[in-house]
Structure 1
Amino acid sequence: MLRLYFFISLMCLVKSDPDETCPSFTRLSFHSAVVGTGLNVKLMLYTRKNRTCAQVINSTVFGNLNMTKKTTFIVHGFRPTGSPPVWMEDLVQGLLDVEDMNVVIVDWNRGATTVIYNHASSKTRKVANVLKEFIDQLLVKGASLDNIYIIGVSLGAHIAGFVGKMYNGQLGRITGLDPAGPLFNGRPPEDRLDPGDAQFVDVIHSDIDALGYREPLGNIDFYPNGGLDQPGCPKTILGGLKYFKCDHQRSVYLYLSSLRENCSITAYPCDSYRDYRNGKCVNCGIPQKESCPLLGYYADNWKEYLKQKNTPMTKAFFDTAEEKPYCIYHYFVDIITWNKNIRRGSITIKLKDKAGNITESKINHEPAIFQKYHQVSLLARFNQDLDKVATISLVFSTGSVIGPKYKLRVLRMKLRSLANPERPQLCRYDLVLMENIENVFQPILCPKLQM
């Protein structure tokens, strides 16, 4: 809560634009946040027929809304400045790019705009009631609950849950983007988003130590980078306003990345982030095993698998890059050593292709234990996926600043891609790694009989 109050105190004045040619998201000032606003919900429709100019709709006026197509509602959260969400336009256009659907912005800025978070939170059930009345009319006109999809951000995720409860969990899908934690953590299912609120509920947790909800809330819960500090976000208050909202907003930008063709983020079902980082939960990426769940828009491809396995709730972990589109490419580095004594340390691996592109992975989150003739499989993460690797470099380090330098005698090193398991695996034999000294070599194709 402390971080939340700091966030509010740093908000700046936002002025409204009186000149509008198309209906747009309500724009309020920081003054409105200070004095408070009464709840007023405005629904704005975008379709491929009017993707750049919204239509204001209600329970009697439906505009271009096609009752036979999917209708996706976007519900924002707490707005302490009164400004429109910076990501809203990209989300609308991204959804329309991937599917011909109805996209409805649920603008409850008059109600969400306040410096007192509790006041905004107290209006969430009222917003849900407004949505229920509108969806009821869609059903009268021939729409199906199966085709109703609600994307809720922060407080909006719990609003989506409240709507789902009123339909006994028969909504097609709910996606919660870092559901709000303050005032909701520890609450019973009836007072928050819950896996039973829709036929499929997927959640992205990106700020579980501050503004987001910590525990699982969906049929599948994604925890990017463990759900804590996100790469590229400020680590201290010196980062200004971005420090308070960057982790929380990252869930939205990760979802947006799933709408782009050049980024498909794979997640790995696992009991803990530590187990994922140690490579214990990547069986879904192995050929002839089940496919891995995808983050974001296409997460519901995993719905049938969950039903088959009779698994009501699953946690999935993955890492991201610092910048858009955030994709990380996973490889296993298998190392067999022949040192007489046990060695403990970390490995840095660098890949280079013939064009000179270089990508690097530091596998140093936890010291690896290298024993004689024992294979250690390390999960490496790269920002680039190089199709044809020309050279590989390895650095072994014990992390000791003072003391003797050690050697790691490698009997065999093998590199295998998880993202593209059909690619030939690359090997190298009989290497001696001097501590903290880079060893560069050309790999060779591993014998096909090796696993």
Structure 2
Amino acid sequence: MVCWLVFVTLMLMFDTHRAQECEEMTDLDLKHSLSGTSLTVRLLLYTRVNASCAQLLSHREPFRNPRFNLSSPSTFLIHGYRPTGSPPVWLTQFVQLLLQRRDMNVIVVDWNRGATNINYWKVVDNTRKVAANLTDLIQKMKEKGADLGSIHMIGVSLGAHISGFTGANFNGSIGRITALDPAGPEFNGQPPSERLDPSDAQFVEALHTDMDALGYRDVLGHIDYYANGGADQPGCPRTIFSGSQYFKCDHQRSVFLYLSSLNGSCPITAYPCDSYTLFQDGECMDCGRFTPDGCPVFGYDAVRWKDRLLQLNQTRTYFQTNKASPFCKFGYKVDIVTWNQKTHWGYLTIKLSDGQEEAQVELNHKSLMFERFVESSVLAQFDRDVQPVKEISLKFCTGKGLRPSKKLRLLRIRLTPLQNHLRPLCRYDLLLEENKEVTFRPIPCEDSNF
């Protein structure tokens, strides 16, 4: 009897020790990718109680884990293709920022065994199997009374389509799906049943950062964000000589942009627009026509615009970012009226100064047309918010160095801030000589209501 009690005590101590152990994401390497891996799905549970120590959540008996609270919202974080087998570098920060936002169950879906394979098409096949695994778990949650509307699935690349397949199995009753640069290869051009689509959840959002390579090109959600046009991201290498960053930087930028939205210190406004060109031309800055609250803020807080977005079905939006955190830019709509006899074409460089700091932007995405008494508009996005603006510098160039220098006679230039509800800045009757910087103090616009 004594021996039996000792044995039971030791087993209880062993089980308690195991329960306290921290689980980690499966860590593989290139040799696993070359040989291929069979699919294994592990669910790593984080809560505010164990924010830095993951607990393994059983697929068959998830409710035996005392940390798993069905009355709390649940967020599933699903990675994508892992050609080198290493865990995502962003995983820990993502979990921590989610838990800082609210008390929830964060479930990291570790399918690294199955995602690590040099054969991408085999990994694509596994996405359906991962979705079936998650469907089984969520079905158990539903049977125990969980609110499917409180489930948020965040999928990166292939993880976005896994989220879609899972949501489709519940006829779109899952609350929210966030797709971070959803995978394009093998999904571009596919019908909605073969990829993520708006019917997969009550609210579906997709961020595009690498649509010309690893990402999906067309709209997939109720709102789609095209950062910097959706393809090349600032700060990412443009040549193959930069190594692995050339292949993954644009694609991975989607995660870091979303992380910045969780941080909340530098919000990014997303402007509904039909094209990136129209956005750059300043044609889509009137946010009052979108909702009384204006244009949506990209990222975690976009759900505030959910009702309006659902009315519009699918909304394409654009924004620009800096090359590193803080990613948010500060925009001005620039309107120019000239009084030259002849029409001129050219580019502008604008610099703002508060007397100590400066912010500069080159408006060179296309040659601007300056026609007499016709207002030309363009969007100027600065890398920082310089306030108050005490001086503005302008430089005009045609880009045609061998021709005689031009002079641009400005009847008026008006800079309207797009954030912070600040008053527009103007200057009247200004002469710009080509390639010569002119600095002036702005004045309140004569037609301003401020």
Q: In the TM superposition, what whole-angstrom CA distance separates every residue of 1:387-418 from its partner, at most 9, and x where no partner exists?
A: 20111000111111211101111112222100
Distance 1:362 1:409 in 2: 19
Q: 1:288 to 1:446 in 2, by over 3 A?
A: farther
Aligned sequence identity (%): 51
Q: TM-score, normalization: structure 2?
A: 0.92
Unpaired runs of 5+ in structure 2? 1-19
Match of 2:127 in 1: 124
Matches within 5 A, 1:324-363: 324-354=325-355, 356-363=356-363
1:220 aligns with 2:223: yes
Aligned partner letter, 2:237: P
Q: How far did 1:325 drift? A: 2.4
Match of 2:443 in 1: 444
Match of 1:171 in 2: 174
Aligned partner letter, 2:340: N
- Give the RMSD, CA atoms, in angstroms: 1.6
Aligned with 2:297 (options 280, 288, 294):
294
Aligned partner letter, 2:179: G
Q: Secondary structure at the match of 2:85?
A: coil
363-372 vs 142-151, greater mean Cα deviation: 363-372
Match of 2:202 in 1: 199
Match of 2:380 in 1: 380
Aligned with 2:144 (options 132, 141, 144):
141
Aligned with 1:65 (options 57, 65, 68):
68
CA contact (8 A) 2:285 2:333 kept: no
Q: How far did 1:327 drift? A: 0.8
Q: 1:405 to 1:218 in 2, by over 3 A?
A: same
1:80 aligns with 2:83: yes
1:278 aligns with 2:281: yes
Aligned partner letter, 2:275: S
1:248 aligns with 2:251: yes
Q: In the TM superposition, what whole-angstrom CA distance separates every residue of 1:281-318 from its partner, at most 9, and x where no partner exists?
A: 111168985511121111222211123xx321111111
Distance 1:400 1:217 in 2: 42
CA contact (8 A) 2:424 2:448 kept: no
Match of 2:390 in 1: 390
Match of 1:323 in 2: 324
1:313 aligns with 2:314: yes
1:56 aligns with 2:56: yes
Aligned partner letter, 1:270: C
Aligned partner letter, 2:23: P
Q: How far did 1:262 drift? A: 1.6
Q: Secondary structure at the match of 1:31?
A: helix
Q: How far did 1:140 drift? A: 2.1
Q: How many residues align?
A: 428
Match of 2:99 in 1: 96
Distance 1:29 1:290 in 2: 48
CA contact (8 A) 2:62 2:68 kept: no
Q: Secondary structure at the match of 1:118?
A: helix
Unpaired runs of 5+ in structure 1? 1-19
Match of 1:5 in 2: none
Q: How far did 1:186 drift? A: 1.0
Q: 1:45 to 1:242 in 2, by over 3 A?
A: same
Q: How far did 1:445 drift? A: 2.1
Distance 2:99 2:177 in 1: 18
Q: 1:53 to 1:150 in 2, by over 3 A?
A: same
Q: Secondary structure at the match of 1:34?
A: helix
Aligned partner letter, 1:378: V
Distance 2:31 2:422 in 1: 59
Match of 2:6 in 1: none
Q: TM-score, normalization: structure 1?
A: 0.92
Distance 2:384 2:346 in 1: 25
Q: Which is greater in Rg? A: 2
Matches within 5 A, 1:27-38: 27-38=27-38
Q: In the TM superposition, what whole-angstrom CA distance separates every residue of 1:361-404 from its partner, at most 9, and x where no partner exists?
A: 11111111112222222210100011201110001111112111
Q: In the TM superposition, what whole-angstrom CA distance separates every residue of 1:421-440 from its partner, at most 9, and x where no partner exists?
A: x2122221211000110001
Q: How far did 1:449 drift? A: 4.0
Aligned partner letter, 2:375: Q
Q: 1:408 to 1:285 in 2, by over 3 A?
A: farther
CA contact (8 A) 1:285 1:419 kept: no
Aligned partner letter, 2:172: G
Match of 1:408 in 2: 408
Q: In the TM superposition, what whole-angstrom CA distance separates every residue of 1:315-352 from its partner, at most 9, and x where no partner exists?
A: 11111111112111110122121111111111110001
Q: How far did 1:33 drift? A: 1.2
Distance 1:74 1:433 in 2: 53
Match of 2:427 in 1: 428
Match of 1:368 in 2: 368
Distance 2:347 2:449 in 1: 25
CA contact (8 A) 1:254 1:325 kept: no
